A = this chain, B = another copy of it.
Amino acid sequence: MKLITRNTDYALRAICYIAQQDKVVAVTELVKVLGVPRPFLRKILQRLSQKRILESYKGQAGGFRLKGQPQKIFIIEVMRVFQGEIALNGCFLNKHVCPNKGKCILRKKIKLIEDDVFTQLKRINIASLI
């Protein structure tokens, strides 16, 4: 049960570093600082710029920069990029969705916990991590 996977983790660290630089940061620099395998980090950063969390600059002297302000980037967005829609559970009965889902007490209780986790995750922005 991991709330945050490795790529989200790497992403967050990269974002935090970039947020603190006042320039366009290239992968080479991030690799040195974070110690993450270069091709993997590249993939992660590409994804972040596709999702408009980072801005990318191609060509020589290119690299990445935050697209918005650190206060306005919340970690749940980053999680969603790498972990998809965050849903803590789903009841299955041999591949089919459980017919009992509406009534199920367990599901309701888990849902409450889930909502709680969301609320808390939604509050954490990049600025607060620096």
Contact = CB atoms under 8 A, between A and B. Distances in A.
Contacts of A6: 92
Interface in A77-130: 79, 83, 86-94, 105-106, 109-110, 112-114, 116-117, 120-121, 124, 128-130
A78 to B, nearest CB: 11
Q: Taking the full assembly, how many copies of this chain does it contain?
A: 2
Interface of A: 1-6, 9, 12, 34-37, 75, 79, 83, 86-94, 105-106, 109-110, 112-114, 116-117, 120-121, 124, 128-130
22 contacts: A1-B1, A1-B5, A1-B79, A1-B83, A1-B86, A1-B87, A2-B89, A3-B110, A4-B89, A9-B89, A9-B92, A34-B93, A35-B93, A36-B93, A36-B94, A105-B128, A105-B129, A109-B129, A112-B120, A113-B117, A116-B116, A116-B120
Contacts of A130: 105
Contact of A88 (B4, B83, B112, B129): B4
Contacts of A114: 3
B94 A37 contact: yes
